[in-house]
Structure 1
Amino acid sequence: MECMLQPLRNPSSPQAKELAVSALGAIATAAQASLLPYFPTIMEHLREFLVTGHEDLQPVRIQSLETLGALARAVGEPMRPLAEECCQLGLGLCDQVDDPDLRRCTYSLFAALSGLMGEALAPYLPQITTFMLLSLRSTEGIVPQYDSSSSFLLFDDESDGEEEEELMDEDEEEEDDSEISGYSVENAFFDEKEDTCAALGEISVNSSVAFLPYMESVFEEVFKLLECPHLNVRKAAHEALGQFCCALHKACQSCPSEPSTAALQATLAQVVPSYMQAVYRERERQVVMAVLEALTGVLRSCGTLILQPPGRLAELCNMLKAVLQRKTACQDTEEEEEEEDQAEYDAMLLEYAGEAIPALAAAAGGDAFAPFFAGFLPLLLCKTKQGCTVAEKSFAVGTLAECIQGLGAASAQFVSRLLPVLLSATREADPEVRSNAIFGLGVLAEHGGRPAQEHFSKLVGLLLPLLARERHDRVHDNICGALARLLMASPTRKPEPQVLAALLHALPLKEDLEEWVTVGHLFGFLYQSTPDQVVDVAPELLRICSLIQADDKIPPDTKAALLMLLTFLAKQHTDSFHSALGSLPGDKAQELQAILGLT
C-alpha cells in the first residue's frame, strides 16, 4: 500500500497519480474490509483531487471518482458517514464540469452510494435524476458530416456488425439537410449513456420507494435507447429496464399501493415483449445474453406477475426453445465469423437460456410448467449424448436439475426419463458434469415422490461409495447434499444410521457452500422427527458445530438447527452428550458449553 500512496503524497506527474489512484480502486475491490486501516489516508487524498481546479489533474479527478465508488462497495458500513458528503461532491462536480467521462464516473459513484444509503438517498434524487435524464436525452457529441460524395458516415461503433442508422432530424428543412451525409458520435458520449443506464438501474433497486416519483420519466428515456445503434448502450438499457421491474416489485412488497401495483404491471407489459423481440431479432449475441440474464432476474423477482397476460408462459417458452434450437437472429451463422468464437458464444447463449428455463418453472409453478417442460426435455436430453461436448453436457444436466427444483412435485411424472440420464452422467470424467448430475439425483429424490422412492436403495448404493472415493470438493459437497435430501425424503421418516453417519463424517462442506442450506434442513428434520436417533452420532455433531460456529459463511439457520439438536442431546441424553464433548479440545468444549448455556 505504501508504494501506491507514495505518488499521492509526494510530487509526481499527473499520470503517476492517476495510475496510483486507479490501482487503489483495484486493491479495494480485491481486499474489501482488509483495506480499512488505510481508508482515512486514501479518503484524504481523494478529497484533495476531487476539489482541485488544476486542468492537468482532470484525469486524476475522474479516476478518483471511480476509485471512490469502488471504496464504497468494498468498505461498506465504515463509508456510510461519508456518503452524504460524497453525494454533494459528486453533484457539485456535475454542476461545475462539463465532461462526459466525469459525469459517468459520478453516476457510478451515486450507484455505489445507493447501496449504502438506500432510501436515505431521497433528498439527492431530484438532482441526480435531473443530471442523468439530461445525459440520456443529450445529443452532445453528435457531429454532422458534410460530404459532397455519395458516401456517408453513420454512428461510429467498435462492432462491425452494427446496424446502420442515420440520425436525421425530420423537422429540419430539406435544403438544410442536403449537404449533411450522416452523423458520427464520439464514443465518450455513448459510454456516458451506457453508464447512466447502469447507474439508474442500480439506484432504482437500492432506493426502492424513494425512486418511485422518478420512475416514469426515467423509464421512458431508457426505453428509447433500445433503438440505439451502439450495442453496449442497448445492452445497458435492457439491463436497466429489468432492474426497474425488480425495483417496482420491491416497492410493492415493502409499501403496497394500487398505483405501485399498476406501475409494475404497466412496466412488465412493456418490458417483457421488448425482451422477447430482442431475443428473436437482435443480431448481437452480447445483447441477447444480457436480455436473457435480465429476464431471469425479473422472473425470480416478480414471479407469477410476469406471466399474467394469457399466453405469456407459452410465448416465453417458445422464445427459449428458439434459442436452444439456434433459430434466433444472433445465431444466424451466415455471417463470417471464427468457428471457435461462434462455438463459445453459442455455448454462452445456451447457458443464459438454461438459467431462464428453471426460473420460468419456479414462476409458473410445477403443474403449469410441466407440459412445457415436456417440450424442453428432448432438446435438453439430446445434449447429454456421448458425442456431445463437455460444455453441452454440463449445461443440459445442470438445467435439468434446476428444472426439477422448479417443477417440485410435478417432476414425479418425469422420473423414468430423467433418472437414467442423471445416473449415466455421474460416470462422466468432467467434475462439473458429475456435480450437476449428483445434484439432479438429490433434487429428484426430494421432489419425485413415489416414482423416485422406488430407486432409493440404488441411489444410496451409488452415492455412499462415491462419497468415500470422490476427491473433487464440489462433487463431494453435492454428494453430501444429495444424501441429505435422500434421508429427508425417506418414506419411513427414519434416516438409515449408516447413511447418516457417513454423511456427517464427510462434513464440513468445502466448496459448494450453498448445500449448507440443505444440511441445515436435515438438522431441522432430525430434531423434529427422530431426535433420539442422533445419540450415536453426537461426537460428529459436536465436531461439526465446533468447526462451523465461528464461520460467517454458514447460514445462521443451519447453525441454529444444529444447536437445537445439541441442546436436546445435552438435556435428554446427558451422559452421551458429555462423553462426546470429551472428544473435543478443551477450549472448543468450553466454547460450545457456553453457547448452549451449560456453564
Structure 2
Amino acid sequence: MKISQDPHPRVRAAACTTLGQMATDFAPNFQKKFHETVIAALLRTMENQGNQRVQSHAASALIIFIEDCPKALLVLYLDSMVRNLHSILVIKLQELIRNGTKLALEQLVTTIASVADTIEEKFVPYYDIFMPSLKHIVELAVQKELKLLKGKTIECISHVGLAVGKEKFMQDASNVMQLLLKTQSDLSNMEDDDPQTSYMVSAWARMCKILGNDFQQYLPLVIEPLIKTASAKPDVALLDTQDVENMSDDDGWQFVNLGDQQSFGIKTSGLEAKATACQMLVYYAKELREGFVEYTEQVVKLMVPLLKFYFHDNVRVAAAESMPFLLECARIHGSEYLAQIWQFICDPLIKAIGTEPDTDVLSEIMNSFAKSIEVMGDGCLNDEHLEELGEILKTKLEGHFKNQELRQVKRQEENYDQQVEMSLQDEDECDVYILTKVSDILHSLFSTYKEKILPWFEQLLPLIVNLICSSRPWPDRQWGLCIFDDIIEHCSPTSFKYVEYFRWPMLLNMRDNNPEVRQAAAYGLGVMAQFGGDDYRSLCSEAVPLLVKVIKCANSKTKKNIIATENCISAVGKILRFKPNCVNVDEVLPHWLSWLPLHEDKEEAIQTLSFLCDLIESNHPVVLGPNNSNLPKIISIIAEGKINETINYEDPCAKRLANVVRQVQTSEELWLECISQLDDVQQEALQELLNFA
C-alpha cells in the first residue's frame, strides 16, 4: 500500500478516500486485519509535504480508521503515530505563520482530537508536546478566514483535556479558559454562520466535564451574558410591502407576506445567538448539576416559555432538552423544591407535545418528557396530566395510521411517480420517528410506574395491538413489539394477561426479513424468561428452536444482521439461566458457548458474560468441558470482551471474570495452553483486565 509514492496527487487523494470508505464499510474487521499497513501508509502520506489537499485526505482517512479501531490495537502504534502527528503539526504551524495555509492543519487538529478521544488516558505522556502548539494556533487564528481552524483547534484542546483528565489538564486549565472566554467574549457579536459557534458549544461542555466543580469559578463570568443572550426578544416589525423592498437582504431580516400589501418581518441575526446561548445553558445544567443549582429557577423560568418560541426551532429544542437536566439540579435542593419546579414544567411540556408543529422539535420535546418522568419517578403525574397525555398519545397513534392510509391513496393517484414516492417515504420516516418517541414515553411510564400504569395504558392497547398486525409495515411491528417488551420487562408477572395479543406476533416475527423486527421479538422472548414468572414457561420452550434457527442462519453474522442475532443468543442464555426447566440445558449449553463472545450489543454482551461467570463459578461440567478442554475458548471470550470494551471496571462482572483468569493461572500447564491460542492483542487485554479488576 504505497499511496505516498504515486506521483499523481489525485491518485493519492483517491486512494486515501477509498481507504476511509473501506474503514467505514468493513469496520471493525478491516481495522483488525490491516491496521499495521494502513496506519503506516496514511502517516507517510501525511508527512509528504508535496500537496496540502492530499495531506488533508490522508488525515481524514486516518480519523475514520481510528474511530472504529479497537483501543488495544491502536496502542501498538501509539508512540510512532503520535510523534509523527506532532512533527507534522510543527511543520504545518510554521506554514500557517509564514504563508497562512490552513487546509491540512484543520484536518490535522481533528485527527489529533480523534486519536486522543480513542486512546484516552494513554495520551498523557504526549500532552506536553502538543498543548503549546494547539494553544498557539488559537492565539494566531484571529482573521476571519481562520475561524474554522480556530474552532476546530478549540475542539481539539477540549478533546485532549478530556482524554488526559483533570489532574494533567489543570496546569493549562486557567490559560485555556481565558482563551475560550476571549473567543466567546460577546456571543451576540458572532455572525450567524460563524463556524466557531458549534465548536465553542461542544468545547464548553467538555471543559465542564473535565473541570467538574472547578468550573464553577468561571460560571459567573459566562452565565450572565448567556442568560442575557438567551432572554433576548427578537426584533419584529409590521411593514408595508414598499418598505420591505427598500430593505436590503443582508440586513438579516426575513419577511412573510400577510396580504393587503403588508409583511411581517423578523430580524434573524440575533436568533442564532439566542439558540446557541440556550444550548450552552443546557450543557452547564447537564455537566455541573450541583454547581448549577442556584441558577435552576432562573433558567427554568427562561426556558419553559421558550417551548413556544416559534421563531426558531433550535431555541425550542434547547428549551425541551434542558428540562430533565434542570430537574436533576432541582433534586439536589430537596424533594419539596423539585416538586415546585416540576409543577412549573409539567403542564407546558405535555401541552407542547400536543401543539408542536415541527417533527424534529416534537421528537425532542417527547424525548425530554420521557426523561423527565424517569427523573421524577412513580406518581409524578396527576390524574388530569395522565388524562391529557392519554388523549395526546392516542391522537398521535391514530394520526400515524391515518397518514399511512393517505400515503397509500396518493400511491394510486395519476400523478404518482418516483419523486412523489421519495416525498412519501420522507413523510413516513418522520411518522415512524414520532412513533419511536411514543414508545420512549411509554417505556418511561412502565419503568417508573410498573403494573400500576396498566389500567391507564388500556385505552391505547387496541392501537398498539394494531401496530403488531402482520399486515403492518415493519417499523410499526418493530415498535409495537418494543412496547410489549417493556410491558413484559417492567410489569411482570401481570403482563401475562395480555399474552394472547403478543404471543404469536412475538414468535412469528422471529422469522421476519427485517433484523430490527427480529431483534425486538428476540429481546421480548429473553425478558419473558428473565422477568415473566412461571406462566411464560411454555412460551419460552417454543422460543428456543426459533431462536437457534436464526442464530444458525448462514448470514446471521453480517453487519446488517449481527445485532438481531446477538439478541437471539442472549435470549437463549436468559432462557437457560432463568427458565432451565423449559429446555434441555446440557444439550443447548455447548451451542450457546460456541456462539460467544457478543461484540455489538454491549448490554446483552455483559448479561451473557455474567451468566458465563455463574456457570464457571459453579464448575458446570458442560461449560468447562472434559478435562477443562473448554477453558482456552472461555479465556479467549474474556479477552475479546475486554478488547471490545464490553467489560466495564465498575461492573461487578469485571472482577468475577478477572478471578476466573487468576484461577486458571494457578495451573501453569493449563494457563500456557490457554495463552498459546491467543494473539498479542488478546494477551495484552487480559493483562490489563488483571491489572485493573
- 2: CA distance between counterparts of 1:458 and 1:527? 27
Shift of the alpha carbon at 1:49? 4.4
User: What CA deviation, in whole Å up to 9, does each residue of 1:569-590 have, x standing for no partner?
Assistant: 869xx9xx88865752448699
- 1: CA distance between counterparts of 2:355 and 2:498? 33
Q: Percent identity?
A: 21
Structure 1 stretch displaced more, 395-404 or 269-278: 395-404
Task: Pick one of 470, 485, 510 that aligns with 2:574.
Answer: 485
Structure 1 stretch displaced more, 504-513 or 545-554: 545-554
Contact preservation (8 Å) 2:537, 2:582:
no
SS in 1 for 2:513: coil
Structure 1 residues 342 and 447, CA gap change in structure 2 (3 angstroms): same
Shift of the alpha carbon at 1:350? 0.9
Q: What amino acid is aligned across from residue 578 of structure 2 in structure 1?
A: A
SS in 2 for 1:304: coil
Q: 2:527 maps to which residue? A: 443
Q: Do residues 232 (structure 1) and 314 (structure 2) align?
A: yes
Task: Pick one of 360, 364, 371 that aligns with 1:297.
Answer: 371
SS in 2 for 1:76: helix
Shift of the alpha carbon at 1:153? 12
- 1: CA distance between counterparts of 2:308 and 2:552? 56
Q: 1:348 maps to which residue? A: 433
Structure 1 residues 360 and 9, CA gap change in structure 2 (3 angstroms): farther
Q: 1:17 maps to which residue? A: 102
Q: What amino acid is aligned across from residue 646 of structure 2 in structure 1?
A: K
Contact preservation (8 Å) 2:188, 2:229:
no
Structure 1 stretch displaced more, 478-487 or 81-90: 81-90
Q: 1:89 maps to which residue? A: 179
Contact preservation (8 Å) 1:104, 1:196:
no
Q: Do residues 502 (structure 1) and 576 (structure 2) align?
A: no
SS in 2 for 1:382: helix
- 2: CA distance between counterparts of 1:364 and 1:371? 11
Q: 2:135 maps to which residue? A: 47
Residue correspondence of structure 1 range 197-276 to structure 2 within 5 A: 197-228=278-309, 229-249=311-331, 252=332, 259-276=333-350
Structure 1 residues 477 and 95, CA gap change in structure 2 (3 angstroms): closer
Q: Do residues 371 (structure 1) and 459 (structure 2) align?
A: no
Shift of the alpha carbon at 1:138? 2.9
- 2: CA distance between counterparts of 1:510 and 1:543? 16
Q: What amino acid is aligned across from residue 121 of structure 1 in structure 2?
A: F
Structure 1 residues 136 and 312, CA gap change in structure 2 (3 angstroms): same
- 2: CA distance between counterparts of 1:162 and 1:317? 38
Structure 1 residues 311 and 320, CA gap change in structure 2 (3 angstroms): same
User: What CA deviation, in whole Å up to 9, does each residue of 1:428-487 have, x standing for no partner?
Assistant: 111221122111111122222122112333222333343333443223211221011112
Q: 1:325 maps to which residue? A: 398
SS in 2 for 1:10: helix
Structure 1 stretch displaced more, 417-426 or 374-383: 374-383
Contact preservation (8 Å) 2:446, 2:486:
no
Residue correspondence of structure 1 range 31-42 to structure 2 within 5 A: 32-33=117-118, 36=123
SS in 1 for 2:493: helix
Contact preservation (8 Å) 1:438, 1:478:
yes
Task: Pick one of 347, 351, 354 that aligns with 1:280.
Answer: 354
Residue correspondence of structure 1 range 85-484 to structure 2 within 5 A: 85-95=175-185, 99-100=189-190, 101=194, 105-139=199-233, 142=235, 147=240, 182-187=264-269, 189-228=270-309, 229-249=311-331, 252=332, 259-304=333-378, 306-307=380-381, 309-326=382-399, 338-365=423-450, 367-469=451-553, 470-471=556-557, 472-484=561-573
Report the TM-score, using the length of structure 1 for normalisation.
0.79
Q: 1:60 maps to which residue? A: 146
Structure 1 residues 468 and 107, CA gap change in structure 2 (3 angstroms): closer
Q: 1:256 maps to which residue? A: none
Shift of the alpha carbon at 1:72? 1.9
Q: Which runs of 5+ in 2 are unaligned?
A: 1-45, 48-54, 57-88, 408-419
User: What CA deviation, in whole Å up to 9, does each residue of 1:373-414 have, x standing for no partner?
Assistant: 444433223223333222222222233223422323332322
Structure 1 residues 473 and 182, CA gap change in structure 2 (3 angstroms): closer
Shift of the alpha carbon at 1:291? 0.8
Q: 2:22 maps to which residue? A: none
Task: Pick one of 570, 576, 600 that aligns with 1:511.
Answer: 600
Q: What amino acid is aligned across from residue 647 of structure 2 in structure 1?
A: I
User: What CA deviation, in whole Å up to 9, does each residue of 1:65-93 have, x standing for no partner?
Assistant: 45423542466232641333222222233
Structure 1 residues 415 and 321, CA gap change in structure 2 (3 angstroms): same
- 1: CA distance between counterparts of 2:98 and 2:349? 48
- The aligned length equals 559
Q: 2:630 maps to which residue? A: 540
SS in 2 for 1:321: helix
Shift of the alpha carbon at 1:216? 1.7
